[in-house]
Amino acid sequence: MENFTSAWVTGLHHITYKNQSLPEIGSQDVLVKVKACGICGTDIHYFKEFPDGKSTPLGHEVAGMVEYTGDEVRNVKVGDPVVVQNHVPCGVCEACLNQRHDACEAIRTYMEDQAGMGGYLMVPSRMVIPFKGLGFAEATLAEPITVSLDLCREASVRLLDDVLIMGPGTIGLGCIPIVKRQGARHIVVAGHDLDSIRGQHRREIALSLGATDVVDTADPEWKMSLEQQYPSLFDRVIITSPPHTITDGIDLAGFRGWIVYDGISYLDDTISFGANDFHFKKKRLIASHAIPNWGFPQALELLRDGTIPPHRLLTHTYPFEKLAQALNDYGSKEMKVIKIAIEM
């Protein structure tokens, strides 16, 4: 039986490459030969914070090729290029049977014992979605764009809404063309240290994708400037930056404004804000967590038709053996980094 290698975080800033054997393939399973896997902020948290203190598989933004299918698989065939969903609903719990797949009580995932950063994944056939018109590295963007889609769906942007997007990473930048299609009037992007090489590049990309303006949160007057420019503040605030920035988003949401956020921190996830002001101004704070996954066909189409041009978000590719370097380079202020994909 063929062996392959996969990448696991086994300590702070430490990656172990495990040698594994191919698993037995069930009748409804698909074996995917991984061709590329994007680096997500979650991977960075595992690598730089090692929150659970236990061996953790890396990678869940996967594109690859079908290597083998079980006897009962009909949706894909050997040789098909596919993206792999990392979570799917069970389909049989009470929530699923009531058409509430987002509230599934028994989500199926491969992420507990398989790494997307590796040679192969064995998954149920309903986890794989065929694609065309994109390279494998480009297709890894589909997963973070599904997160953008969930944020924008939860935000329910209306015609002529003013929207603030906090965090010009892959997900935040991906939100720009989506809220523009939803009807946003002004789209302001807020990011930190935009005078760096990395920040300047993200500013340029945000503007090219349709942002009205980009502001630097390193400027101590940034909030005051926005309050002066937008006296009614923002109808919708979408936060893809660290949890401590949620309070800024709440402050900048206008009357009946909605604040939608997606983000984690294993070091500091506590915030405080004035409940009375929040209450009397009728604001809403909504968490977006796109698990189980949804929206992959939409994400792939947005990438394929150029609404979200892959070449503007996918800035670097690294070979598998340089994964540790890629994880370190991801946060470099001296590089024009937005999204890095690892090619197998």
pLDDT in the model for residue 139: 98
Rounded distance, CA 106 to CA 92, Å? 9
Whether residue 242 is found in the same domain as residue 334 = no
Residue 267: the pLDDT is 84
124: how many CB neighbours lie within 10 A of its CB? 16
In-domain check, residue 302: no
User: Do 203 and 228 have their domain in common?
Assistant: yes
> Contact at 8 Å (CB) between 168 and 211?
no
Instruction: With a cut of 80, say whether residue 306 has pLDDT above it.
Output: yes
Which CATH number covers residue 156?
A: 3.40.50.720
Average pLDDT over residues 130-140: 98
Structure tokens at 308: 């979200």
Q: What is the CATH number of the domain that holds 109?
A: 3.90.180.10
298 within a domain of the structure (yes/no): no
Share of the chain above pLDDT 90, in %: 94
Name residue 215's beta-bridge partners: 190
- Answer whether residue 1 shows pLDDT above 80: no
Residue 125 domain flag: yes
Q: Same structural domain for residues 137 and 151? A: no
Asked if residue 95 belongs to a domain, the reply is: yes
First to last CA, the chain: 20
Q: Are residues 163 and 283 in the same domain?
A: yes
Count of domains observed in the chain: 2
204: pLDDT strictly greater than 90: yes
* 155 & 283 share domain: yes
Range list of H helices, 121-185: 136-139, 142-155, 170-182
Residue 330 has pLDDT above 70, yes or no: yes
Q: Domain range for residue 159?
A: 146-287
**Shared-domain flag, residues 234 and 254:** yes
Same domain, 160 and 68: no
Specify if 296 maps to a domain: no
Q: Once rounded to an integer, what is the mean pLDDT over residues 205-211?
A: 98
Does 217 map to a domain? Answer: yes
Q: Cβ(342)–Cβ(41) under 8 Å?
A: no
Q: What is the pTM of this model?
A: 0.96
Rounded mean pLDDT of 218-240? 97
Decide if 293 is inside a domain: no
Does residue 300 lie within any of the structural domains?
A: no
- Per-residue pLDDT, 159: 98
Q: Taking residues 170-192, report their average pLDDT.
A: 98
Same domain, 94 and 165: no
Q: Compute the average pLDDT of residues 78-100.
A: 96
Whether residue 282 sits in one domain with residue 150: yes
pLDDT at 266: 85
* Span 11-16, average pLDDT: 94
What's the pLDDT tens digit per position in 55-83?
Answer: 999 999 999 999 999 999 999 999 999 99
Q: What is the mean pLDDT of residues 139-147?
A: 98
Contact 62, 32 (CB under 8 A): yes
94 and 203 in a common domain: no
pLDDT value at residue 264: 85
Mean pLDDT, residues 247-258: 98
Q: Are residues 250 and 329 in the same domain?
A: no
What would the pLDDT profile of 28-49 be if each residue is shown by its tens digit? 999 999 999 999 999 999 999 9
